[in-house]
Amino acid sequence: MRDYLKFYIDGAWVDPIEAKTADVINPATEAVAGRISLGSAADVDKAVAAARMAFASWSQTTREQRLDLLGAIQAEYAKRQTELGDAIIEEMGAPSSLAHGFHVGLGAGHLQTAIEVLRDFKFDEPHGATVIAREPIGVCALITPWNWPMNQTCVKIFPALATGCTMILKPPQLAPFSAQILAEILHAAGVPAGVFNMIQGSGSVIGTALSTHEDVDMVSFTGSEPVGVQIQKDAAATVKRVALELGGKSPFIVLDDDALAANVAGATAGMMGNSGQTCSAGSRLLVPAARMEEAIAAARTAADGVTVGDPRGNVAMGPVVSRAQYDVIQSYIQKGLDEGAKLIAGGLGRPDGLDKGWFVRPTVFVGTNDMVIAREEIFGPVLVIIGYQDVDHAVEIANDTSFGLAGYANGSDLDQCRAVARRMRTGWISINGGFDFHAPFGGYKRSGNGREWGEYGFHEYLEVKSLLGYGAA
């Protein structure tokens, strides 16, 4: 039982101003795994004041000082990776291999990337007698989701630290444990008082207080489209910068070649990773209509081969994060059936043998792009296979969505994959499994604005200043 009842403000663990708590539920057992305190607007005021005071000195630190701090954080992070993985298993149900592997590894990767970028980042650039300076934007509110807790938290904290900003983190209420450990890591590494602050609580209270706060200069939010829209509205009155990474309904185009079956199987298994709770998941699988039966066979075999169960064991998929999320996913599966989509794997209810925990059956439909299950983000292990006539038709289907976060192009002909990727209206495209910590990540259309990861992630936390005549002789 974890009791995380204090907030981290101004370099110390402090009691909330109002004593109010919430239980955190283990989604695999439905049992209470711990408690957190729920913060208030008064706690936000306290944290923002600390961040504002610390900004005066932290913003003036040198590149070398920030590199030293990031190196110290890296050493502390390495010591506690096992604890972080255990917390992620418990808070959001990720299987052990995934929690201790990619979940924790993403946090470490973003930290290493921040170090690499900071070493050579050009904060000043001369243009004749003018110098273009990039300076920290100020106090940043970082609001993160529950589905990839270390990834989404670290991809904000470390660029903010590296660029000289101060911050207040609002972790997800459903999955708060790993953020608590990360705060302890930052404290042990010697982050100066007030530079990093953390308040637990509900998004409607803490998120709103941060988004509307006069002394917050920037909000970085990852989560759902409706919440992102509300944050933009809340932030408008103070004209603060807002960076949003929102939802997706990402297309995965499998080209017509000898690797089709293997690519379909890989795309299907990949969709089920993290229980489908990934904003960039390739949830629309586009395959040649002429080879639909072959694709169905490969997808069915792959989905049926996904082991589901206790995330502490050797399984590929654990539960989804909560009862509410389970119910939403079940409602979408029912919509797929009602719309006449062809169910080829999975379906309603829990997998056989699991009568407790929010476990969902790895589900695959064959449908059309106008169906609800192909247009709305389900955020669960539900894949829709859609047939295309030719490559032009595949691209047309891929782009026929209000989202534009991610995309995938797999095939043996690399030039054809490249051509398809160029035509997809989305911000991040993986060709044959490509992955890069330095590649900017973010979306077109309703998938958000701004970019994270690598050098582009630094720019979200910087203002641009023109110093005319600075370089005059």
Q: Write out pLDDT tens, residues 353-381.
A: 999 999 999 999 999 999 999 999 999 99
Mean pLDDT of 10-27: 97
Are 285 and 202 members of one domain?
no
Are 284 and 226 members of one domain?
no
Mean pLDDT of 391-412: 98
- 382-399 pLDDT, tens digit per residue, is 999 999 999 999 999 999
Q: Assess if residue 19 is contained within a domain.
A: yes
Are 233 and 306 members of one domain?
no
Are 136 and 204 members of one domain?
yes
Are 132 and 256 members of one domain?
no
Are 112 and 230 members of one domain?
yes
Are 238 and 334 members of one domain?
no
Q: Is 24 helix (H, G, I), strand (E, B) or coil?
A: strand
- 264-298 pLDDT, tens digit per residue, is 999 999 999 999 999 999 999 999 999 999 999 99
Are 33 and 143 members of one domain?
yes
Query: What CATH code is carried by the domain that includes residue 432?
Result: 3.40.309.10
Q: What angle do CA 456, 459, 461 make, to 5 degrees?
A: 130
Q: Token pair of 351, please?
A: 């997998």
Cβ atoms within 10 Å, residue 195: 24
> How would residue 473 be classed by pLDDT, with cut points 50, 70 and 90?
low
Which domain does 357 fall in, by range? 251-437
Number of domains in the chain: 2
On the question of pLDDT at 300 being above 90, the answer is yes
Question: According to the model, what pLDDT value does residue 255 have?
Answer: 98
Which residues participate in catalysis according to the annotation?
A: 245
Q: Assess if residue 221 is contained within a domain.
A: yes
Question: According to the model, what pLDDT value does residue 76 have?
Answer: 98
d(CA 377, CA 381): 11
- 129-158 pLDDT, tens digit per residue, is 999 999 999 999 999 999 999 999 999 999
Q: Assess if residue 473 is contained within a domain.
A: no
- 25-76 pLDDT, tens digit per residue, is 999 999 999 999 999 999 999 999 999 999 999 999 999 999 999 999 999 9
Region for 351 from its dihedrals, namely left if φ exceeds 0, alpha if ψ lies in -120 to 50, beta otherwise: beta
Residues 414-425: b if buried by 16+ CB within 10 A, e if exposed:
eeebeebbeebe
Q: Assess if residue 452 is contained within a domain.
A: yes
Question: According to the model, what pLDDT value does residue 391 have?
Answer: 98
> How would residue 450 be classed by pLDDT, with cut points 50, 70 and 90?
very high
Region for 164 from its dihedrals, namely left if φ exceeds 0, alpha if ψ lies in -120 to 50, beta otherwise: left
Q: Is 397 helix (H, G, I), strand (E, B) or coil?
A: helix
On the question of pLDDT at 21 being above 80, the answer is yes
Q: Assess if residue 306 is contained within a domain.
A: yes
CB-based contact 460:438 (threshold 8 Å): no
Are 359 and 265 members of one domain?
yes
Are 373 and 355 members of one domain?
yes
Cβ within 8 Å of residue 249, ≥6 positions away: 283, 284, 374, 375, 376, 377, 401, 402, 403
Question: According to the model, what pLDDT value does residue 471 have?
Answer: 86
Are 317 and 431 members of one domain?
yes
d(CA 442, CA 104): 21
Mean pLDDT of 15-24: 97
Output the CA torsion 46→51→54→59 (10° steps): -170
Q: Assess if residue 409 is contained within a domain.
A: yes
Are 77 and 139 members of one domain?
yes
Q: Assess if residue 421 is contained within a domain.
A: yes
Question: According to the model, what pLDDT value does residue 472 have?
Answer: 79
Q: Assess if residue 346 is contained within a domain.
A: yes
Query: What CATH code is carried by the domain that includes residue 190?
Result: 3.40.605.10
